[in-house]
Structure 1
């Protein structure tokens, strides 16, 4: 019953034509604006868990569809979010891709969602990732989301919508090559199974390339099958599987700011600099997720959806970290460590929704119960206070100094073997009311969170338990004027249980946050422009931050952080063949209360300004007939690299990206369905950086080129 309808701009349809899906060679007829049903009746808007369209939602929401992801050649969550307002993806640079890490509205987020359920993360290194090939749409929900999803940072969340089965046959094969010896092959297939009530989707990928850092490699193998069974007109069952194997994961080590953007008597380090060791840089991650959805229309107005997923994941890695740069500016002292982690988990979300009318008010009532359970075992070994690890000369490195025969990694002061258990139960209620031109949303949720760690941690016994509950609320109102303007106002709260303790053993309190947001959305008729302008202020209490008097991983609860800012997102089609998207973010993030001298300081990784512009242009007629060209500009403002003093900053940078798509069927009818693609990120090969502090920085992604050849049939 619920169906998400999206009006497609002309150029998006033109891109589909360039992909060979709608165009014939030599056709120059104008493309008519049309409506397209994007998802089946199991789709739910991330911001509401209902079918309310994003433009009618009284909160900021960005939707990146498959055409945008493919045109920008996004192959990771970070790449997909580069042009979304309020999001900074440049936290650990371009060489580190084994974690999806970003900030939204000034707050760091490790927790992604996939098809409405959490990707279970053990708060260490084992974070399941979803390859963008398996994703049909990326939704960025900005602001607190706890009334629907429970424990989440107040800045917002990312929900990756997986590709769905289809009844119409679609098949695609693609080969790609490019910078750093890229070799990739992927396949997509979907359609009906014979004359049955079953339809399927199958996505598969294999990819390998050299890492950006010297001696490192990246490798991934993924398969994601999904089957829909239309049991009856009112009942659909989806069974889905996602499997991913990453035998290599690039690097995780950092570099000192000296030699990057701070002076160093030995000169500047190259973007492929590596502070680790080729013999001690293992990475092997394996993730299996299996789930199902049951969608049942009880009658014309009431619906039940159950979404279930089981996760089984493991990770083994060896690595190094720097412990200080010598006075010569080139000798970095190091320690070596390894982790061996395994996670099993279960998530379920039960949604019962109904539509009814009382007087002039049309209600969409949502009641839900969700539950997640994570069980993770972690082994950690570190050479600190043991045999140690050899130092490295960053300007004349020897990458082959460490092996299992040269260091003793066991039974040191940091030896750990412990279990993490986290459970969250949530009960939520939401009413979405349409009253004339008004849309009103109110929601409330109760969460019960339990967590415990048992075993041996950092050389000693650990037996910590956490049991916290919380009530989160949300209310929003929007007025949909007949001139296309829709002003709105919302208030929302967040809740984050805080496991762990400070260096003195004091257990953390939970973090809570609240947001006020005032904005306006615009949509022209006919649809040639649309956008959102939002003003927000978020306050988060009991924030864990780096302990300036402790070790590199010690944290304290500094008290409170306030983030306030302005976001602008706009899309316009000034010409039938030109589509432009613009996003701008101004954010002022500040520690407003603390107990360690951080008051008034700005946290790291929080640039004050972010600006991006992307333009797609389709050529019709002439020698370039059928070519679609994209050009992107990204600006990342200065950010702090010393949270305790705010002395000095990471330099700002402006980056250029380009993409070209050309259907070879324009050259010869025998090539119908064949497409040539070319993309270049960081076209001018700018040096840019991100830093946690002056001792831990990373290079941004160097210039990368990718060429692809695909065949759709």
Structure 2
């Protein structure tokens, strides 16, 4: 007989806290001891299965008392997804392309009204130096995308309150399978990728994903190039211990543009007419972004006994990026002459993520408990050099993109030279109890974080020596009830935090910015229909605002932002051949406290309404058997032009299409061969995204990709 547990489950639920940042598909076995007769205190071992982003447990999204959306491999493949922004286009509560379609070097989102640049890969943060260097995972290496909405600090530490995006890598499989895919497309795109997996022997499975891509950028004179390889290996060390070794290497010799355009000529009229969607305000002689990223990691899964397991996820990061770019300083009264400055950045980062997690799954009386206890840690050190100088102006309507010569740039005269180091560390201690009691699911958790950051060297011509040392507790509670008819109402409360660097005009360091969310909703899964509805309110406090008694650059912490909204999602198999996915978002986001004139205003990049739907037709019989047809539309409502809400950015509606065909339907000789056509923005609508009146970007132009794939 197993030892008795002399505890009260309800007290444990209130005391235990939340999860790790570990999210992989594990290899495990279902075990259950049915010999015990102690009905009140028996420990009953449960199976170890895939852990989702929202709970780090085996709960399905339909059983999780908080909103989560999963975009699976089939959806990614059918839509011909190339970037993370494209992957989440049909997800409620999230707005992408914040810097338009021509800027592809970073993954940036607005989730439930809050900007988020913290991407995750297999549950570990892709370490960002807050400048221009962050790993960017290519979608060729991704199996599925998980969007966890609302505050996630109880699981992941420092994080904006709107939510997060977690990319799940393609993992080794025991069944032998390989594929080669070649793609051609708009902007002279050329792309070849391979994906091979299988068993090397009884103890080792492997996977190798690799890609080479070249294309012209949307903006004139720009181009994009990428080389990527991601090998991984699963080793069965013993019946109780498995180890995954993984690497991700990516070289981006060129990644398009980053500069913006003024709102006059893009989102708004210009006396000289509208600019073309491939317009560019930079210079071909002074425009480069080169990035190298190496990620080395391992995932260790060890079964301690019939109750407890130990999971460790570790990743080392080494990355560097060099950039030459321009930015606009003003637009002349002729509305065509744009004054510019040229700058360069040279950045290098090294970092380490470690997540240690103990998990125990057992029964106490009639309640099932899934306990998570752990410690995670990351550190990042980044060296940054920055130079800035006056550059020649450009005529936007008769541009000369070959004016800037490096020898003519006087960096010394600007006084903006910088050479400094940033170091960040975060340590988190977390606990969580997930409880099942009949048809109830409860989650209660909390986490304590310590965050430290320093900045030393010369920044903008002056010595910098600043430090931040902040700690924070964050928690969440949630409950869901599963009715027999498939309806599952839920309610949850969650907190988040974001460390704030810098000081006020008196030299006092800022406090941590915090947020809290209440969320209630309904999930349904029955008769081929999976649907959810969630209503939420997020209140973010201690937001930096301008100090009314200081200079324009002095800040104080009195700001507050409130986000309220409703999100609807559904997936329905209308027939065996027809499937539809749809999403709707309504958001009311407002600055509720501020002393710089924007109280009552809405933040930028927040559409009040979004609506999308994707219809798939894949007949199993008849003349069209083997064909897959897809069509979708995306509506994004108007957004504010700037923080002062002086004007709006127009809404837009886009159409996407896809056609796939299995060539084996023509002849058995073509077994494993398929072709696909993917069209994004099929009607070539022109749309925009803006930060303010001086900084706007064009959305994606129409793109057409044709690919051929062979599976063997």
Shared fold (TM-score, shorter chain, > 0.5): yes
Q: Distance in 1 between matches of 2:210 and 2:448?
A: 39
Q: Distance in 1 between matches of 2:249 and 2:235?
A: 21
Aligned to 1:327: 333
Aligned to 2:588: 588
Residue 597 of structure 1 and its aligned partner are, at CA, apart by 1.3
Aligned to 1:267: 273
Aligned to 2:529: 529
* Equivalent residue for 2:117, pick from 110, 113, 123: 110
Q: Is the Cα contact below 8 Å between 1:3 and 1:51 reproduced in 2?
A: no
Aligned to 1:404: 406
Q: Distance in 2 between matches of 1:107 and 1:703?
A: 28
Q: What stretches of structure 1 of length at least 5 have no aligned partner?
A: 6-39
CA change 1:401–1:557 in 2 (3 A) is farther
Aligned to 1:146: 153
Residue 680 of structure 1 and its aligned partner are, at CA, apart by 0.5
Q: Is the Cα contact below 8 Å between 2:298 and 2:314 reproduced in 1?
A: yes
Aligned residue for 2:658, secondary structure, equals: strand
Aligned residue for 2:612, secondary structure, equals: strand
Residue 422 of structure 1 and its aligned partner are, at CA, apart by 0.3
Aligned to 1:538: 538
Q: Deviations over 1:513-569 (max 9, x none)?
A: 000000010001x4x101110000000012246999999999765611000000001
Q: Is the Cα contact below 8 Å between 2:504 and 2:510 reproduced in 1?
A: yes
Aligned counterparts, 1:523-672, within 5 A: 523-524=525-526, 526=527, 528-544=528-544, 557=557, 559-644=559-644, 646-672=645-671
Q: Distance in 2 between matches of 1:503 and 1:390?
A: 36
Residue 595 of structure 1 and its aligned partner are, at CA, apart by 1.7
CA change 1:179–1:552 in 2 (3 A) is farther
Aligned residue for 1:542, secondary structure, equals: strand
Aligned to 2:41: none
Q: Distance in 1 between matches of 2:223 and 2:555?
A: 32
Residue 86 of structure 1 and its aligned partner are, at CA, apart by 0.4
Q: Deviations over 1:646-665 (max 9, x none)?
A: 12200000000001110111
Q: Is the Cα contact below 8 Å between 2:151 and 2:496 reproduced in 1?
A: yes
Q: Is 2:188 the counterpart of 1:177?
A: no
CA change 1:602–1:680 in 2 (3 A) is same
Q: Is the Cα contact below 8 Å between 1:189 and 1:202 reproduced in 2?
A: yes
Q: Deviations over 1:147-204 (max 9, x none)?
A: 11100011001110111001100100000001000000000000001x3411101000
Q: Distance in 2 between matches of 1:101 and 1:265?
A: 33
Q: Distance in 2 between matches of 1:212 and 1:554?
A: 38
Aligned to 1:434: 436
CA change 1:84–1:182 in 2 (3 A) is same
Q: Is the Cα contact below 8 Å between 2:263 and 2:696 reproduced in 1?
A: yes
Q: Deviations over 1:634-682 (max 9, x none)?
A: 00000001212x1220000000000111011111111110110100000
Q: Is the Cα contact below 8 Å between 1:189 and 1:201 reproduced in 2?
A: yes
Aligned to 1:470: 472
Q: Distance in 2 between matches of 1:632 and 1:544?
A: 40
Aligned to 2:387: 381
Q: Distance in 2 between matches of 1:231 and 1:410?
A: 58
* RMSD, aligned CA: 2.0
Residue 90 of structure 1 and its aligned partner are, at CA, apart by 2.6
Q: Is the Cα contact below 8 Å between 1:633 and 1:656 reproduced in 2?
A: yes
Q: Is the Cα contact below 8 Å between 2:90 and 2:583 reproduced in 1?
A: yes
Aligned to 2:55: 48
Aligned counterparts, 1:159-558, within 5 A: 159-193=166-200, 195-383=201-389, 388-410=390-412, 412-501=414-503, 507-524=509-526, 526=527, 528-544=528-544, 557=557
CA change 1:42–1:186 in 2 (3 A) is farther
Residue 96 of structure 1 and its aligned partner are, at CA, apart by 0.3
CA change 1:241–1:41 in 2 (3 A) is farther
Aligned residue for 1:451, secondary structure, equals: strand
State the TM-score, normalized to the length of structure 2: 0.92
Q: Is 2:65 the counterpart of 1:66?
A: no
Q: Distance in 1 between matches of 2:480 and 2:562?
A: 25
Q: Distance in 2 between matches of 1:557 and 1:204?
A: 47
Q: Distance in 2 between matches of 1:140 and 1:256?
A: 32
State the TM-score, normalized to the length of structure 1: 0.91
Q: Distance in 2 between matches of 1:505 and 1:210?
A: 48
Residue 413 of structure 1 and its aligned partner are, at CA, apart by 1.2
Aligned to 2:676: 677
Residue 360 of structure 1 and its aligned partner are, at CA, apart by 1.0
Q: Deviations over 1:288-326 (max 9, x none)?
A: 000001101112221110000000000000000001110
Q: What stretches of structure 2 of length at least 5 have no aligned partner?
A: 1-23, 28-46
Aligned residue for 1:595, secondary structure, equals: coil
CA change 1:549–1:653 in 2 (3 A) is farther
Aligned residue for 2:76, secondary structure, equals: helix
Q: Is the Cα contact below 8 Å between 1:183 and 1:209 reproduced in 2?
A: yes
Deviates further, 406-415 or 441-450: 406-415
Deviates further, 229-238 or 373-382: 229-238
Q: Distance in 1 between matches of 2:602 and 2:264?
A: 22
Aligned to 1:702: 701
Residue 502 of structure 1 and its aligned partner are, at CA, apart by 6.7
Q: Is the Cα contact below 8 Å between 2:54 and 2:148 reproduced in 1?
A: yes
Q: How many residues of Structure 1 are paired with residues of Structure 2 in the alignment?
A: 670
Residue 506 of structure 1 and its aligned partner are, at CA, apart by 6.3
Q: Is 2:128 the counterpart of 1:129?
A: no
Q: Is the Cα contact below 8 Å between 1:428 and 1:444 reproduced in 2?
A: yes
Q: Is the Cα contact below 8 Å between 1:3 and 1:41 reproduced in 2?
A: no
Aligned residue for 1:599, secondary structure, equals: coil
Q: Is the Cα contact below 8 Å between 2:359 and 2:373 reproduced in 1?
A: yes
Q: Is the Cα contact below 8 Å between 2:546 and 2:595 reproduced in 1?
A: no
Q: Is the Cα contact below 8 Å between 1:447 and 1:471 reproduced in 2?
A: yes
Residue 99 of structure 1 and its aligned partner are, at CA, apart by 1.0
Q: Is the Cα contact below 8 Å between 2:216 and 2:224 reproduced in 1?
A: yes
Residue 356 of structure 1 and its aligned partner are, at CA, apart by 1.8
Q: Distance in 1 between matches of 2:520 and 2:244?
A: 38
